[in-house]
Amino acid sequence: MNVSDEPKLSIAIVLYNSADTLADCLRSIRGELDSGFAELIAVDNASPDDGVAVLRAEFPAARVVEMKRNCGFAAGVNAALAHARGRYWLLLNPDARAPAGGLRHLVAWMDAHPALGIASPDLVDVNGRWEEPGRATPSIGRVLLRLLRLHRLLPASVRRRVFRGGYWTSGDQVDAGWVPGTAMIVRPAAVSAVGPMREDLFMYGEDLEWCWRMRRAGWRVGVCSSTTFVHDTSSSAVLTFGEQDVEQRIAEGMDAACRLIYGRAHARALAALTAFAFALDARVPGKSPAERDRSRSAARVWRRLAALGYRGL
């Protein structure tokens, strides 16, 4: 094959209980797949639903990698990227949808920012609510600043850089702490430098840890704010585990990633402080009963993590 025949972008999709949203995802990228701009590599993580049948009906030319069991998101991504030929790689959740021209825009944006190893487009949920893809790496200092309300004393420009998330009101980011794996574009040279995703982080936290390794190796993490993908947040995870269990798994994944980043003692202190912050949040005046219940539930999860740690590491 000639170099000119190679795709600009390799898209990796991991399938597990995702048949309900997959067709819309594939239709949103059909133009780039049909034109040869992008290739699609799907990993069937031994899914119990008919996601592979949906995939073959929508795009028969896609490569499908069959796993014998559910090996987790990171292992699925790594299995897909072993077959990637594109100049960039895109991790795309099957519950995410790209806008018209979004894939080409992302590639052009990465070309214009060669220091970036990894990035995300802007993200909104199905109701148009912003998902704040540019995030700060969790830290004791940030939790303390917010817990003591000292962050309010910082100039707005400093709060934006330190806390990211909802404090970053608009514009591109080229030095975020981390971005979620929802629609994550990756430079292969950066992966060659830092290695693939950690497969012992079964689900959640693997994106945080990967971005940390990228930054430690000198690559930057960014957000392209000029293209926005829609994300039906955690749809397959909720279907598989239930909403309450998903929240616990997210906390476990974040805790596990922080143990790898900071070490066990530091991460346990961070978990304990996070538990205290949630417990205090449950007592803030003006909260609805549902909001108080969520904060109390989160506090219980983080207290357990502070005491025992994530069982997977």
Q: What is the pLDDT of residues 203-237, one digit of tens each?
A: 899 999 999 999 999 999 999 999 999 999 755 45
Is 127 found in the same domain as 45? Answer: yes
> Is residue 40, in this structure, part of any structural domain at all?
yes
- Regarding whether 300 and 210 lie in a shared domain, the answer is no
Q: Are residues 26 and 127 in the same domain?
A: yes
pLDDT bucket at 1, cuts 50 / 70 / 90: very low
Task: Tell me how far the alpha carbon of residue 166 is from its chain's centroid.
Answer: 16
Same domain, 19 and 99: yes
- Among 190, 209, 231, which residue terminates a domain? 231
Return all residues near 5 (Cβ < 8 A) that are at least 6 apart: 36
Backbone φ, ψ for residue 115 (5° rounding): -80, -15
pLDDT of the residue at 5:
76
- Per-residue pLDDT at 239: 46
**Which tops the pLDDT comparison, 148 or 5?**
148
Dihedral angle sign, alpha carbons of residues 274, 277, 282, 287: negative
pLDDT at 51: 93
Instruction: Report if residue 115 sits inside a domain.
Output: yes
| Domain interval for residue 278 | 240-307
CA atoms of 37 and 205, how far apart (whole Å): 30
**Mean pLDDT (whole number) for 133-139:** 97
Instruction: Report residue 224 as tokens.
Output: 């392209």
What CATH number should be reported for the domain holding residue 100?
Answer: 3.90.550.10
Contact 182, 120 (CB under 8 A): yes
Quick one: 14 and 81 in the same domain? Answer: yes
Kindly state whether residue 36 falls inside one of the protein's structural domains. yes
Quick check: is 112 in a domain?
yes
pLDDT category of residue 245 using cuts at 50, 70 and 90: confident
pLDDT surpasses 80 at 47 = yes
DSSP 137: P
Same domain assignment for residues 196 and 258? no
Give the largest Cα separation in the chain, rounded: 65
Structural domains counted in the chain: 2
Do 189 and 274 sit in the same domain of this protein? no
Q: Are residues 202 and 301 in the same domain?
A: no
Q: Answer whether residue 144 is part of any domain.
A: no
**Same domain, yes or no: 246 and 277:** yes
Residue 258 has pLDDT above 50, yes or no: yes
pLDDT tens per residue, range 145-178? 999 989 999 999 999 999 999 999 889 999 999 9
How many helices (H) does the chain have, and how many strands (E)? Answer: 13, 8
286 class by beta-carbon count within 10 Å (0-12 exposed, 13-18 middle, 19+ buried) = exposed
pLDDT at 299: 94
Same structural domain for residues 192 and 303?
A: no
pLDDT score recorded for residue 278: 93
112-127, pLDDT tens digit by residue? Answer: 999 999 999 999 999 9
Indicate whether 191 belongs to any domain. Answer: yes
Last residue of a domain, one of 231, 252, 269: 231
Question: Is position 74 within any domain?
Answer: yes
Taking the C-alpha atoms of residue 111 and residue 275, their distance in angstroms, rounded to an integer, is: 41
pLDDT digits (tens, 9 = 90+) for 88-101: 999 999 999 999 99
32 and 66 part of one domain: yes
Which of 190, 206, 231 is a domain's end point? 231
Confidence band, pLDDT 50/70/90 cuts, at residue 308: confident
Q: Rounded mean pLDDT of 296-309?
A: 90
Residue 139 lies in a domain: no
Report pLDDT for 169: 87
Do 206 and 227 lie in a common domain?
A: yes
